[in-house]
Structure 1
Amino acid sequence: MKDISTILVTGATGNIGRALVEILQTTPSSLSTIAASPSGQSVAGAPGRPLNLLNTASTRAAMQGIERLFLLTPAHPEMEAMTANAVRAAQAAGVQHIVRVSGAGADPKSEIAIARLQGSCDQIVIDSGIAYTLLRPKNFMQNFTTFLRDMIRSGAVYSSQGEGRVPFIDARDIAAVAAQVLRDPQAHASQVYTLTGPQALTNAEALAVIAEHIGRPIQLVSISEEQAVEGMRQAGMPEPLVQAMSSLNRIIAAGWVAEVTDDVPRLLGRPATAWADFVAEHRHVWQ
């Protein structure tokens, strides 16, 4: 009888994690999936385990019996500590492969705050001695259904990203790539994949598609980066995250994020989700 490999999916209640668990639950019985989240709830029929990445005991308990780890650390001032805790627990538990969601352009030596933060976390995984695969997506289509949702509903979106283009990616495509890697990790060992959608759009172009589908106009209001920073601070965002998000705004505005890659269609054997298709599916969110 074939041994069963157990996968722990962290962030299992989020956009990527939930979609990943759902995909893995359709995988043949040679794989077993456990959904890890702060609440420890079951997801898509997969048993749940509680996980607090800032708590050593919680992290070690969650890793017991795990062979493959999907590691998603949330945007948090202590992201590096979370990653380090997870990696140490994975080492102690004998985890054989880590698939980490990072960010495009990640580099621990970067002058860009968000790239430096993600790169430092990647380096912790690389230095662990555990086989790894790094997934580096660009901005998510789901940002329009979450962070920007209320502004879109109000008819005005404020942005400091200017005319910068972004090849927005559906989080479900990231999950599909992660599932592909987790099913056959040896084939993807030491690989780094930059994940994008099929087309780079400005915010104005993206919002125009939404406006067409919901039947009312959406105004894009340009603001300065200083105004964007002040808005994030007023919203209570911790300063390290303010600096990280501000650096992202600046590189998008500078046109540094516009490149489209073929990693998603190459790995999945199908095109990445198109923006118009995503909007059509989610139009009810903005009604």
Structure 2
Amino acid sequence: MILVTGATSVIGQKLCQLLAENKKVFRAMCRKEDQLQKFRKQGVDAVLGKFEDPESLRSAMKGCTFLFLVSPPTENQLQCETNVIDVAKQEQISYIIKVSASDANLRSSVPWAKTHAHIDHHLRASGIAWTILKPTAFMQNFLTMTKPISKGFYPKLAVTGWWVISMRRI
């Protein structure tokens, strides 16, 4: 069975949809009761789990052999994802697919790039078989930029914080 963390994210929702359409056995991990109920109404095996809570992760992983790891970009992402990897090792998860970042680098001054690099290294050192996905961007993110783009501006990420956007004339 596959445990999909971040099941309510754009990536996680699409993965759950594809797994269900292809009749694959999986479990969706949610952080909120209403999310859990929504998945269950669709006939999806869903559990509550929090990245910060090893016991809830253990419970979510019961009976699973594969793990899809994606979490929100927060200031505690490093601790959250390393918790998941550590619990996965204890629960004998045999394979982890992790969504990382194309610019992941331990020497980066960009917070999320450095965070993803640390998590990637932790996963590689865990002894669990892994695949690390390193997307550059997602097309659906550009949909939120249609208004500034139509006015000749292209939003670009600034390095001053976790998610700060500045505008550049195109």
- TM (normalized to structure 2)? 0.82
User: Looking at CA atoms only, which structure, 1 or 2, has the larger radius of gyration?
Assistant: 1
Mapped partners of 1:244, 1:35: distance in 2? 27
Mapped partners of 1:37, 1:144: distance in 2? 26
Would you say how many aligned residue pairs link Structure 1 and Structure 2?
Answer: 162
Q: Judge conservation of contact 2:2–2:26 (CA < 8 Å) in 1.
A: yes
- Residues 48, 224 of structure 1: alpha-carbon distance in 2 compared, 3 angstrom cutoff: closer
Alignment-mate amino acid for residue 18 of structure 1: Q
Mapped partners of 2:156, 2:81: distance in 1? 33
| 3-state secondary structure, aligned to 2:3 | strand
Using the TM superposition, give the Cα deviation of residue 36 of structure 1 relative to its aligned residue in structure 2, in angstroms. 0.8
Moved more, 19-28 or 73-82: 19-28
Q: Judge conservation of contact 2:73–2:112 (CA < 8 Å) in 1.
A: no
For 1:1-287, what aligned pairs fall within 5 Å after superposition? 6-28=1-23, 31-39=24-32, 40-41=36-37, 42=39, 44-145=42-143, 148=144, 152=146, 155=147, 157=148, 207=149, 218-221=150-153, 243-245=161-163
Q: Judge conservation of contact 1:114–1:245 (CA < 8 Å) in 2.
A: no
Mapped partners of 2:132, 2:43: distance in 1? 27
Q: Report the equivalent of 1:210.
A: none
| 3-state secondary structure, aligned to 1:70 | strand
State the identity %: 28
- Residues 224, 20 of structure 1: alpha-carbon distance in 2 compared, 3 angstrom cutoff: closer
Mapped partners of 1:70, 1:224: distance in 2? 29
Mapped partners of 1:243, 1:114: distance in 2? 10
Hey, which of these two has a bigger chunk of strand by percent?
2
Alignment-mate amino acid for residue 31 of structure 2: P
Unaligned runs of 5+ in 1: 1-5, 158-206, 208-217, 230-241, 254-287
Using the TM superposition, give the Cα deviation of residue 125 of structure 1 relative to its aligned residue in structure 2, in angstroms. 1.1
Mapped partners of 2:19, 2:95: distance in 1? 16
- TM (normalized to structure 1)? 0.51
Using the TM superposition, give the Cα deviation of residue 243 of structure 1 relative to its aligned residue in structure 2, in angstroms. 2.5
Mapped partners of 1:23, 1:141: distance in 2? 18
Mapped partners of 1:17, 1:111: distance in 2? 28
Mapped partners of 1:138, 1:74: distance in 2? 16
Alignment-mate amino acid for residue 134 of structure 2: R
- Residues 129, 223 of structure 1: alpha-carbon distance in 2 compared, 3 angstrom cutoff: closer
Q: Judge conservation of contact 1:36–1:62 (CA < 8 Å) in 2.
A: yes
- Greater than 4 Å deviation, 4+ residue runs: 221-225
Using the TM superposition, give the Cα deviation of residue 10 of structure 1 relative to its aligned residue in structure 2, in angstroms. 0.8
RMSD: 2.7
